[in-house]
Amino acid sequence: MTRLIIRVGIAIIICVAIVLVYRSLSRYSLDEVQTSLAMIPGLRLVTAAIFVIASYACLSGFDFLALRYVGKPQAYPRAALASFTALSIGHNVGGAALSSGAVRYRFYTRWGLTPDEVAKVILFCGATVLLGLSMLAGITLLLMPPTGETILQLGPEARFWLGLAFLAYPVAYVICSIWGRPPLKFRSFRMEMPTTPMCLAQIAVGTVNFGCVAGALDQLLTTFTDVGYLQVASAYVTATIAAMLSHVPGGLGVLEATMLVLLPASASIGALVAFRVLYYFIPLMIGVPLLLISEAYFRRQPPMPLQEASRQA
């Protein structure tokens, strides 16, 4: 019964993803997309694409670390496959913990993880997202030059204290790992605090991930504005938080609207359309076929015993 529910859930996610591709692309005419892309120099598009690839590589690092945290390490290609497939869909479908979590469940239970261990992987990755966002926000606010106050409408003192507030979370996270924090418990579920080296790795890979995403945006916006990387990164963090709170699939419209509000005189909808194509649409168009192919492949394979899965990992 559980397998049937999971399969139905996966089928629904695939259908929703396909519909979202159609609805998302239909918001922009072909001429609009082509015009937006034509205005951006080829070199900027290439460097933005490199930043996007680097971001998804960092995201695969989330899963790679999480699998080691739960004691079921997998070869990097496996972690990367599960991560990219899950997140390329989850970023667009919305409700990442459920949508990408369901896809992760399909991969990881085949490779010997229990449902509780998959839940821990999802929570670990979620914590890494928050650590990365907090760290990048704190760094950009503290390092932002005086010209940045016209963008975020914050003076140097306000930016300083807000930056420290954002940095408080990753600092507290590491301190808890050093001093020892009681495990998270819910009925039979128990999640221990990661080791200090693991916590530092989470912070590093999370920060680099969001730094790469901001780098992609910065490369595309440079065509239309002279706003610096730190301002773009701060605006992106704010827009990402707004998109997460909105629960709109893929933050569609929310991300663009927030960026335009924060960068009213310089942001271009053309650059934001190009960013959405590079970071959301193209990965989704790769991720959905990957999921379908993996489903067909694994359906033909006999179930892997837990001992064999552990040995191969």
- What span, in angstroms and rounded, lies between the C-alpha atoms of 16 and 284? 12
Q: How confident is the model over 227-286, as pLDDT tens digits?
A: 778 888 888 888 777 766 655 555 555 666 666 666 655 556 778 888 888 998 899 999
Q: DSSP string of 272-283?
A: HHHHHIIIIIHH
User: Which residues lie closer than 8 Å to 18 by C-beta, 6 or more apart?
Assistant: 288
Measured CA to CA, the distance from residue 276 to residue 17 in angstroms comes to 15
C-alpha 219: how far from its chain's center? 19
| pLDDT score of 308 | 47
Name, of 21-35, 107-121, 200-214, 295-309, the range with top average pLDDT: 200-214
Distance CA 222, CA 41 (A): 10
Asked if 121 and 278 count as a contact pair (C-beta separation under 8 A), the reply is no
Residue 188: pLDDT band (50, 70, 90) is confident
Residue 271 and residue 224 in contact, taking contact as beta carbons nearer than 8 Å: yes
The model's pTM: 0.80
Alpha helices in 94-195 (DSSP H): 96-110, 115-143, 149-152, 156-179
Nearest to 252 by CA among 239, 237, 270, 267: 239
Mean confidence (pLDDT) of the chain = 79
Q: How confident is the model at residue 309 (pLDDT cuts 50, 70, 90)?
A: very low
* Model pLDDT for residues 65-99, shown as the tens digit of each residue: 999 999 999 999 999 999 999 999 888 776 566 67
